[in-house]
């Protein structure tokens, strides 16, 4: 069917390359109006009394929207900015401007799907068609070798099935021009962080990377990591690093807002393998993209279970709700340097390494035995690269209520520090005050001074190398 005029509603797909909703709209419509809507619900507090979208991610989203608008303007179009509930203001805008159809990317979790269903209902009531497309994953939903209800609960089975029986679809081209109705002009302004109720975060010189949102920056990051530095060729060996820009790809912030397509990254890796080198490291980055797919499909299979205390398991675990211990964990003042360093990096930059995320999550859930959802919600608020499926899926996994076949998985934090921060460089980067303690060795608990050991706070017991110390000593 051919429409005279349609909206492309950009959500977590803030790009022009490999965008099926945009591609289909251009094929089926005479005029296309790109729209982005700032939903106030995304900037409210969560049930855990945390900001749903923290300052780092809010800034990154704004930069991505601004970049998208610039890219559209370069294609003779523009980006309409709306404020309000999309299911209401989008339909009102469509009715005012004689729009016949709304194209959008489909999501899998409850809040987003509720908006989709309400949008469809309100649109149909006005005689406006809707078209949703699956495009957030490497493997398309329709190409999986198993139906969602029979999706394997173990990642290895999922990966092997997809690698053997599924295909990765071809990347859709970036349009040369977008037929935007000139009579509409430029509508709406991108709100400032202050208008969104957020502070402008100060860039930290210790940050692993100066993350800037937008498709342009995302494409440049891929080019840098693959073609300019060949860092991908050593990815498997360096991926557990903690310091520096290139120990890992760091594509996740752009993937989280859809400024990068996983299929496009895959195609670039395959090109790199053909033109430069194919090894375990190039495969391992594809392996990580498959992990990302897996959690999205798991969320589709299990729905709201991923947000429940028991996760997707039926076993009941006794979780603590110790607010003092949780706040110490969140602030990076547990007294355990390796944990505290990672949490301080997160709080001050919006980013943390994959190794760090596993360890701080394990410490909160396995050592402190605190409700894992508190940690997941805290990451949701703080992470610049927050992705609902990867975040909650990984937290379930570490907490033993998800897809880990080993439910007793445990990380020895002191041993992990010795393995991944042998010289203590990472800890000293984020807790420089430790260097001032005479004779202090981050790997030897007994070297902690009596002053620190006796400082006020909650002691975790003889099995823990450090007490939870006070803000006075560690702030």
- For residue 81, the domain's CATH number is 3.40.50.620
DSSP string, 365-379: IIIS-B-HHHHHHHH
Q: Are residues 453 and 389 in the same domain?
A: yes
Q: Are residues 281 and 349 in the same domain?
A: no
**Structural domain tally of the chain?**
3
Domain limit, last residue, from 83, 106, 135: 135
Q: Are residues 267 and 399 in the same domain?
A: no
Query: Is residue 149, in this structure, part of any structural domain at all?
Result: no
Residue owning tokens 């210790």: 206
pLDDT in tens, 201-217: 988 999 999 999 999 99
pLDDT in tens, 333-379: 888 889 999 999 999 999 999 999 999 999 999 999 999 999 999 99
Query: Where does residue 161 rank: exposed (0-12), middle (13-18), buried (19+ CB within 10 A)?
Result: middle
Q: Are residues 375 and 438 in the same domain?
A: yes
Domain holding 273, by residue range, is 216-302
Query: Is residue 404, in this structure, part of any structural domain at all?
Result: yes
b/e for 83-96, b at 16 or more Cβ within 10 A?
eebbbebbbebbee
User: Residue 214: left (phi > 0), alpha (psi -120 to 50), or beta?
Assistant: left
Cα separations in angstroms, 56 against 60, 63, 210, 348: 6, 11, 11, 9
Tallying the residues shown for the chain, one arrives at: 475
**Chain centre to alpha carbon of residue 264:** 18
Q: Are residues 9 and 124 in the same domain?
A: yes
Which CATH number fits the domain that encloses residue 264?
Answer: 1.25.40.80
Query: Is residue 164, in this structure, part of any structural domain at all?
Result: no
The dihedral built from the CA positions of residue 73, 76, 81 and 85, taken in this order, carries a sign that is negative
Query: Is residue 123, in this structure, part of any structural domain at all?
Result: yes
CB 249 within 8 A of CB 232: yes
Q: Are residues 464 and 337 in the same domain?
A: yes
pTM, whole model, 2 decimals? Answer: 0.92
55's tokens:
């300052």
Domain limit, last residue, from 255, 270, 302: 302
Q: Are residues 287 and 370 in the same domain?
A: no
Q: Are residues 225 and 290 in the same domain?
A: yes
DSSP string, 390-437: HHHHHHHHHHTSSS-S-TT----HHHHHHHH-TTSHHHHHH-GGGGGS
Q: Are residues 295 and 350 in the same domain?
A: no
Which CATH number fits the domain that encloses residue 393?
Answer: 1.10.579.10
Q: Are residues 48 and 118 in the same domain?
A: yes
Query: Is residue 165, in this structure, part of any structural domain at all?
Result: no
Reading the chain (475 residues) residue by residue, the pLDDT tens digits are 699 999 999 999 999 999 999 999 999 999 999 999 999 999 999 988 999 999 999 999 999 999 999 999 999 999 999 999 999 999 999 999 999 999 999 999 999 999 999 999 999 999 999 999 999 999 999 999 999 999 999 999 999 999 999 999 999 999 999 999 988 888 999 999 999 999 999 889 999 999 999 999 999 999 999 999 999 999 999 999 999 999 999 999 999 999 999 999 999 999 999 999 999 999 999 999 999 999 999 999 999 999 999 999 987 789 999 998 999 999 998 888 899 999 999 999 999 999 999 999 999 999 999 999 999 999 999 999 999 999 999 999 999 999 887 777 788 888 898 899 988 899 989 988 776 655 555 555 444 433 333 333 333 333 334 443 332 333 3
Q: Are residues 329 and 453 in the same domain?
A: yes
Helix or strand holding residue 341 (H, E) = helix 337-349
Task: Indicate the SS3 state at residue 239.
Answer: coil
Query: Is residue 184, in this structure, part of any structural domain at all?
Result: no
Return the bridge partners of 38, or none.
83
Domain limit, last residue, from 135, 156, 177: 135
Distance CA 357, CA 420 (A): 13
- Residue 79 pLDDT: 97
Q: Are residues 259 and 329 in the same domain?
A: no
Query: Is residue 403, in this structure, part of any structural domain at all?
Result: yes
Query: Is residue 279, in this structure, part of any structural domain at all?
Result: yes
The dihedral built from the CA positions of residue 92, 98, 100 and 106, taken in this order, carries a sign that is negative
Cα separations in angstroms, 344 against 26, 88, 351, 458: 46, 40, 10, 19
Question: What is the DSSP-derived secondary structure letter of residue 226?
Answer: I
Residue owning tokens 């989280």: 256
- Residue 197 pLDDT: 96
Selection from 448, 210, 467 nearest residue 340 by Cα: 467
Q: In what order do the strands lie in the sheet with 101-105?
A: 80-83, 29-38, 3-10, 101-105, 129-133
CB 270 within 8 A of CB 226: no
**Cβ-based neighbour number of residue 306 at 10 Å:** 26
């Amino acid at each position: 069917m051919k429409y005279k005029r349609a909206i492309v509603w950009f959500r977590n797909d803030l790009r022009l390359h490999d965008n099926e909703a945009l591609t289909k709209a251009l094929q089926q419509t005479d005029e296309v109006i790109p729209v982005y809507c700032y939903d106030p619900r995304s900037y409210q507090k969560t049930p855990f009394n945390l900001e749903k979208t923290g300052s780092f991610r809010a800034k990154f989203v704004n930069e991505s929207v601004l970049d998208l608008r610039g890219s559209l303007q370069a294609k003779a179009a523009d980006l309409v900015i709306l404020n309000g509930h999309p299911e209401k203001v989008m339909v009102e805008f469509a009715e005012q401007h004689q729009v016949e159809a709304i194209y959008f990317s489909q999501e899998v979790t409850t809040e987003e799907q509720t908006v989709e269903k309400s949008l469809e209902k309100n649109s149909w009531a006005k005689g406006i068609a809707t078209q949703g497309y699956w495009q957030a994953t490497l493997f398309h939903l329709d190409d999986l070798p198993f139906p969602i209800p029979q999706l394997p609960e173990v990642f290895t089975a999922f990966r092997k099935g997809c690698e053997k029986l599924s295909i990765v679809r071809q990347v859709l081209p970036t349009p040369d021009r977008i037929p935007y109705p000139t009579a509409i002009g430029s509508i709406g302004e991108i709100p400032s962080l202050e208008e969104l109720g957020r502070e402008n975060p100060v860039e930290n010189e210790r940050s692993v990377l100066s993350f800037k949102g937008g498709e342009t920056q995302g494409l440049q990051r891929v080019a840098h990591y693959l073609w300019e530095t060949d860092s991908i060729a050593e990815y498997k060996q360096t991926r557990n690093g903690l310091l520096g820009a290139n120990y890992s790809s760091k594509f996740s912030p752009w993937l989280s807002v859809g400024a990068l397509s996983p299929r496009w990254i895959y195609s670039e890796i395959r090109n790199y393998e053909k033109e430069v080198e194919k090894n375990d490291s190039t495969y391992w980055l594809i392996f990580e993209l498959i992990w990302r797919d897996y959690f999205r499909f798991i969320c589709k299979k299990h729905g709201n279970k991923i947000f429940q205390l028991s996760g997707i398991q039926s076993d009941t675990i006794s979780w603590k709700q110790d607010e003092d211990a949780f706040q110490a964990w969140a602030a990076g003042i547990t007294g355990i340097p390796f944990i505290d360093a990672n949490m301080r990096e997160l709080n001050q930059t919006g980013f943390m390494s994959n190794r760090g995320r596993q360890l701080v999550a394990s410490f909160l859930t396995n050592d402190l035995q605190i409700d894992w959802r508190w940690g997941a919600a805290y990451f949701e608020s703080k992470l610049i690269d927050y992705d609902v499926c990867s975040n909650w899926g990984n937290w379930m996994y570490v907490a033993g209520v998800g897809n880990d076949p080993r439910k007793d998985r445990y990380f020895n934090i002191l041993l992990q520090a010795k393995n991944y921060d042998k010289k203590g460089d990472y800890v000293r980067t984020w807790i420089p005050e430790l260097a001032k303690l005479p004779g202090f060795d981050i790997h030897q608990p007994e070297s902690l001074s009596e002053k620190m050991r006796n400082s006020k706070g909650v002691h975790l017991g003889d099995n823990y190398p450090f007490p939870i110390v006070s803000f006075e000593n560690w702030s």
